[in-house]
Chain A
Amino acid sequence: MAACLFFIFLVPLAAAGLALMNVGLGRSRSAGHMMMASLCALAVAGLAYFVCGFAWQGFIGGPSHVLAVSGKNWNWIAAEPFFFRKIPFDGSAASLVALFQIFCVGLAALIPLGSGADRWRLRASCLSTGMLAALTYPLFAHWVWGGGWLAQLGVNYGIGRGFLDVGGAGTVQVLGGLTALAVTWILGPRRGKYSADGMAPAIPGHNGVLVLFGCVLALIGWIGLNSAGAILFTGGEPSGAALIAINTMLAASASALTAAFITKIRFGKPDASLTANGWVGGLVASSASCAFVIPAEAVVIGSVAGVAITFSIEWLELQMEVDDPGGAISVHAVGGIWGLLALGMFGQFERPVLNVAGDTLPSTMSGFVSGQWLAQLIGVATLLGFVLPLTYGVNRLLNRFYPFRVSVEGERQGMDLHELGAGAYPEFVTHTDEFLPR
């Protein structure tokens, strides 16, 4: 239990890393606002999860609602009491899951902030975060980590070991990335991003140091995330953390270097922000499979993530006209989906895996499990076919009652002055236009 607690306590560093990256990749006139939004997102997510999120997410073996479909039980939502009641806070599995998840839901809530940078109003982002933590996240997390129907695919239908996601590549990252896509569609691009002549000028981040330091913090947080997830949701032993940490580090390294290499070849010099995005994309891709692959496979997973993320960012920005300042959609959604599929391709189950009934399924002689790729594919289909329409619909509804986008004047002035009344860097003025007479 002590080892698991230690790993869980590292998870907030991942949130700190993402927050710093979001700040650095945005404009200087919105830096304070972004940090404030990150703090508010963590707070709102934690409270919403406390009120009803955990009740609907639950944990393996806990009470839940079941649908009987052609003789098989489909566990679709947990039935825990609200407000964390009846959780024995004595080191029980339920208490550890609740602690881990309250950090994870905050991490998922930070992802869309990077996409809505420089134009997403603070209160609107809090409302959206509340819905993510109270509805979208608990529902999908129950299906994967709470013994829900996706985890039951192996037991009920013999499809591999059921959908597996060790450190939240789908539950946290893809869910957050798809929410980021929905928010970006609703908000539209920043003013000046796409001109009528078809040009899409780059709007560079204002502080590369924050971005790269955020990457280092994220690594520590991700090691905690992946290790704690492996112990809590797959029955892993703390001694397996060394392999998990190595795989996490290797995937991030391979992905970052691949991104740096590609940008060097294409633009003549390595691009710092794309390299940073590659680093986090490697961390994201490692999350699903870190406990079930060997280090060489982690390098392959990271390298492919680096290629996919670098080209995906450019394709979304230039071809699909999706203005995502933090690159969150590519890093978290694309990287996460690749990570989930990679588990189906490379995963070896040489140790027993915790199943939905709380028992452990024995390991196989060869390590490979037939049908695991299909289970992973069904999980990806659920993310695209259920989570994306749900999160888009919820955010669109919220936008109808409380518009997400800041006014034209606010966007021109900067979110710091417009929404908070003070800039993040009062000692120097980097954008003089807001003080010019009109």
Chain B
Amino acid sequence: MKVVGFLMLPAGWFLALAAIVLFAAPPLRAAFVLAGIAVEALGLILAFRAHLIPREEKR
């Protein structure tokens, strides 16, 4: 889960970068940048969840 989360962060960034280069129309560009941010948000949630402390390690 941790690895997937940390892979999704740059994946979302690449989506935003691709939007800048590939799309000239502002609405389409904005939509893809927002999609990139959404992918990053999912990656961040996974990264947070992967770092929750297992019950047996709580002391």
Chain A residues in the interface with B (C-beta under 8 A): 69-70, 72, 153, 157, 159, 185, 188-189, 191-192, 194-196, 320-322, 370-371, 374, 377-378, 380-382, 384-386, 388-389, 392-393
Contacts and interface: CB of A to CB of B under 8 A. Distances in A.
A381 B30 contact: no
B13 A159 contact: no
Contacts of B26: 370-371, 374
A157 B18 CA distance: 13
B20 A385 contact: no
B33 A374 contact: yes
A371 B33 CA distance: 12
A194 B51 contact: no
In the A-B complex, the 7 residue pairs with the closest CB atoms: A385-B13, A381-B16, A196-B58, A384-B40, A194-B58, A185-B51, A320-B48
Contact of B33 (A195, A377, A393): A377
Interface in B6-31: 6, 9-14, 16, 20-21, 26, 29-30
Contact of B58 (A195, A388, A389): A195
Given A374-B29, A392-B6, A384 B13 contact: yes
A385 B9 contact: yes
Contacts of B52: 320-321
Contacts of B16: 377-378, 381-382, 385
A189 B37 contact: no
Given A159-B20, A191-B59, A381-B16, A374 B30 contact: yes
Interface string B32-44: 0110110010001
A73 to B, nearest CB: 13
A389 B10 contact: yes
Contacts of B34: 377
Nearest to B41: A384
